[in-house]
Chain A
């Protein structure tokens, strides 16, 4: 299997590249995550690793950061071969990594988080750390309060803190794993500035992303991974000279080869092209109404404050916002898993605020939770059981308190076919399925038995392109059949692709609702940072 030219010749100077990965291979049970990947990373340069979810980017960087050991291949730093056997070792070698999911302890203060892992002495040296924080902060143009409790910082600031921490021991290489997934457009701009400064200081920056437009705009050099292999690279020269569309085509061609048809569905990778959605004929009656809903926040939460929303029948309403702004609280309040402290929730005009989860479910209100493994399914039970898990005790699956297996199995087979769930059989335990298929099980359950209003929470998070496409397709189909949908997502592209209107949730409040259209992206971005929609 030959790939596209895997390694790129050093273009400038005779210095050793900061990092060289040679023939890295890593296998996990059932999956070849990295297949003989070779990569060169240079100081003073931003090297983007582009690929869809599951392409192996994170694994590759986890090898570099010491979390994972490769099965084969070498890692060279400044020309010397090294064996990185722990994160501690990697940090000592000057490799700093900012993980996709926070590696900060929310309960500790900023300074405590920065001091974590330092080897000097028994006592904590807060003065020393404070000094260093000021030093690093000013070199990056950042200002963070050392005494603040980390969990209370905004996500953008937390990420800045992570960058500072990654650079704390003096790094030569900084790896950023999907850093923009949690940021507002403003946050992204700030990040770009920081990266530019780091570049200027001679640092080698590796930027992992699945967003094509990001790779093109942020990267000096782009390496493209697909299914564990390096399928191509874009040189700095080409990045500078070619147009955005040309680059996009080239990258798509590299990723999917001649299967251009697949490329058509890569909404995830491509920038939201100017989209003029044809106005769908919507009914005018509200299917779901939230009337000044307030939800008390639990520890570490924001809650919801005075949220009012009217979702029309068969509409697809999006709720945009950075993670942790009250989305979960709101979703659970709608579903009935959480009590509302004030206000009302109405389904087709009838108040459901006092109804429990099961009662709302019977009325057609469904909730596709974002936690498909720990909440949305019970891994130790079979696919068939999971599908009927919200129907316990009801006919035809139960009769007089006793279970009716044949009815359950036949329903399961039916749904497995309809939703294209890849499983050896309906009796397979859900825990054995891949993430995408687990999501399909959840969808199969929620979208059966006559759904009327469905709340989707991050429905395509962590899924591969194919499943993502099919999930979005499903949402559209359901809407066509009259199902009202509320899609909560941190992926703006997804919302722009699917929704008729987009509400923006910030600090637990709706800052505005935007009709989808050409200027929607910009206006949503403004609303996310607190501007008002005109």
Chain B
């Protein structure tokens, strides 16, 4: 009948383990279909597009590899992993709770602007380690603070957070520019940027690593922080009571209320946690790599990370390989694009294509197996309900 039919009882079906479809499809092929195939398809389509523009796709992908991995380039790629992974982890916390925090770019930029501006002042007064720790915390706090408005609006008035977080992003980006050009402007230059840190004051590197550039002694510890964060979030979501509460919220707000969860409080917590990790990502990038901020800088990492998070089925540890892959692709992509005379935004196109192909394979897999990328969604039971 229509989708509003209450669960009409069926003659008792023989009990079976997870829905029959999944058994047919098998864990491995389901994984392949959902988590690998979209990538392959996107890369293939990318190759076609490259050929159409007149660029040799094989050469391009080779360049990506050499620019991203060979010689010491892989270390640059690893450094790119830090902010991307932290943002991914922040998104996972939110998405699992059913909260679409699309404001990560604004949160990131604002946190970066604040610590770029404050950092060069603090370093005069504080010992290095404390300075770095303090700034990292401040970055996290700024990121979290920038989620408060959408969080409250959703918690109290149930206002759709997609719109509110996007608005905050645009506001945040402009606010960051105002800060950089204003109170945090480097007084010694006319270029709109903050005063650079003393380079010895940047994040220490992992011993034994080197980078291609003279600037940084090696892969900075931000990477370790990022990986640790991934494990922390995984543990949080799968083993703690808070994690389960967030998952229930993500599965169904109605159920969450029914189970007695404090929904407004959970919404705010999810937002704050999410923003905190995004702010931390900004910290790794400023304190580990850049050391200062130009007014027009906006790497817009957030949107790149969204598809990865889905490909990894919102699994905090499972997202790590995808982030590594994206880092390689983007560092290598910069190099390859330069060689080919293309914009580095080409990688963004690949990322978008991946997401589209994910939607495609999702449909195929759903037909066969049920289940979904999104928490709490199960297609199989809807069908079974309507029978009888």
Contacts and interface: CB of A to CB of B under 8 A. Distances in A.
A touching B, CB within 8 angstroms? yes
Interface of A: 28-33, 53-54, 56, 58-59, 62, 67, 99-101, 103, 227-228, 335-337, 356-358, 361, 367, 369, 371-381, 385, 389-390, 392-393, 398, 401-403, 422-425, 428-429, 431-432, 434-436, 438, 461-464, 467
Contact of B381 (A385, A401, A431): A431
21 contacts: A28-B387, A29-B383, A53-B8, A53-B9, A54-B10, A54-B388, A58-B1, A59-B388, A62-B1, A358-B260, A361-B260, A375-B254, A401-B240, A401-B241, A403-B241, A424-B15, A428-B17, A431-B381, A432-B380, A435-B8, A435-B9
B323 to A, nearest CB: 25
Given A31-B11, A358-B262, A371-B254, 14 more contacts: A30-B20, A33-B387, A58-B388, A59-B387, A376-B258, A378-B252, A379-B251, A392-B248, A403-B239, A428-B17, A462-B7, A462-B8, A462-B9, A464-B9
B190 interface: no
Among the interface residues B6, B11, B257, which one has the most CB atoms of the partner chain A within 10 A? Answer: B11
Interface in B1-55: 1-2, 4-20
State the 9 A-B residue pairs at the shortest beta-carbon distance, nearest first: A28-B387, A358-B260, A435-B7, A30-B13, A393-B241, A357-B260, A431-B381, A54-B9, A431-B378
A90 to B, nearest CB: 14
B252 A429 contact: no
B167 interface: no
Among the interface residues A429, A432, A464, which one has the most CB atoms of the partner chain B within 10 A? Answer: A432
A103 B2 contact: yes
Contacts of B378: 379-380, 429, 431
Nearest to A403: B239
Interface string B298-315: 000000000000000000
A54 B6 CA distance: 12
B375 interface: yes
B164 to A, nearest CB: 22
B248 A434 contact: no
Given A30-B14, A356-B260, A392-B241, A463 B375 contact: no
Contacts of A372: 7
A29 B260 contact: no
Contacts, number: 163
Nearest to B254: A375
A468 to B, nearest CB: 9
Nearest to B13: A30
A208 to B, nearest CB: 12
Nearest to A445: B259
Interface string B234-259: 00000111101101100110110111
Contact of B251 (A378, A424, A467): A378
A374 B257 CA distance: 11
Contacts of B8: 53-54, 58, 435, 462
Contact of B252 (A56, A67, A374): A374
Contact of A390 (B15, B254, B259): B259
A392 B245 contact: yes
B380 A431 contact: yes
B11 to A, nearest CB: 5
B204 interface: no
B384 interface: yes
B257 A357 contact: yes
B206 interface: no
Contacts of B14: 30
Contacts of A103: 2
Contacts of B13: 30-31, 434
Nearest to B240: A401
A423 B15 CA distance: 6
B210 interface: no
Given A54-B11, A378-B251, A357 B20 contact: no
A375 B388 contact: no
A31 B251 contact: no
B376 A28 contact: no
A149 B16 CA distance: 46
A389 B252 CA distance: 13
Contacts of A462: 6-9
A432 B19 contact: yes
Contact of A424 (B12, B16, B385, B387): B16
Given A101-B1, A337-B258, A401-B240, A31 B245 contact: no
B171 interface: no
Given A58-B1, A403-B240, A435-B9, A31 B259 contact: no
A369 B258 contact: yes
A434 B245 CA distance: 25
A28 B380 CA distance: 12
B377 interface: yes
Contacts of B5: 100-101
Contacts of A33: 387-388
B258 A367 contact: yes
Contacts of B387: 28-29, 31, 33, 59
A347 B9 CA distance: 35
Contacts of B244: 385, 392, 403
A403 B8 CA distance: 35
Contacts of B247: 381
Contacts of B383: 28-29
Nearest to A57: B388
A377 B255 contact: yes
A373 B385 contact: yes
Contacts of B259: 357, 389-390, 392
Contacts of B2: 99, 101, 103
Given A357-B260, A375-B254, A401-B242, A422 B12 contact: yes
Given A54-B11, A434-B12, A463-B9, A356 B254 contact: no
Among the interface residues B9, B14, B255, which one has the most CB atoms of the partner chain A within 10 A? Answer: B9
Among the interface residues B242, B247, B260, which one has the most CB atoms of the partner chain A within 10 A? Answer: B260
A29 B384 contact: yes
Contacts of A59: 387-388
A381 B384 contact: no
Contacts of B7: 372-373, 435, 438, 462
Given A381-B251, A401-B242, A67 B1 contact: yes
Contacts of B255: 374-378
B368 to A, nearest CB: 12
B238 to A, nearest CB: 8
A361 B262 CA distance: 13
Interface string B148-176: 00000000000000000000000000000
A398 B388 CA distance: 40
A101 B15 CA distance: 29
Contacts of A62: 1
Contacts of B262: 356, 358
B260 A31 contact: no
A29 B260 CA distance: 35
A31 to B, nearest CB: 5
Interface in B231-290: 239-242, 244-245, 247-248, 251-252, 254-255, 257-262
Contacts of A385: 244
Interface string B355-383: 00000000000000000000111101101
A429 B9 contact: no
A403 B240 CA distance: 6
Contacts of A99: 1-2
B388 A28 contact: yes
A367 B18 CA distance: 29
A435 B8 CA distance: 7
Contacts of A100: 1, 5
Contacts of B16: 30, 424, 432
A158 to B, nearest CB: 14
A367 B258 CA distance: 9
Contacts of B1: 58, 62, 67, 99-101
B9 A436 contact: yes
